[in-house]
Amino acid sequence: MKEKTHPDYHKITVVMTDGTSFETRSTWGKEGATMRLDIDPKTHPAWTGVRQTVDRGGRVQRFKDRFGMTSSMGAGTKSSGAKPEAAAPGKGRVAAKKK
């Protein structure tokens, strides 16, 4: 077998969302590193059956700001209340040539 073809396999500590931790072996990080999970089987909807919105790093808020949604309004509604403007007559159309 060739030398140095496999990554370093070492012990790390994994910290769950509720603060519990366990030690495992992994190729992630360095020896003794700590991996903190944002989501795990205790909080993921696939295992809990509870749908929830978790704002990791402000992504949900940036989405709401970008598309003009507020938390009190339903999904798909705009907070500005502005109606789309109709195109002015003749704009975007090719005028017929006179012969």
pLDDT of 16 reads 93
pLDDT of 94 reads 56
pTM over 0.75: no
| Residue 83 φ then ψ, to 5° | -90, 145
Comparing CA positions, the residue from 29, 28, 25 lying closest to residue 10 is 25
pLDDT of 29 reads 94
Q: What type of residue sits at position 55?
A: D
Rounded CA gap, 2 and 58, in Å?
A: 45
pLDDT of 71 reads 57
Comparing CA positions, the residue from 60, 64, 97 lying closest to residue 80 is 64
Tokens found for residue 16: 């769950």
Are the beta carbons of 36 and 16 closer than 8 angstroms? no
Tokens found for residue 94: 């090719």
pLDDT in tens, the chain (99 residues): 688 888 889 999 999 999 999 999 999 999 999 999 988 888 777 778 777 666 667 788 888 888 887 655 555 544 445 544 555 555 555 555 555
DSSP secondary structure letter of residue 89? T
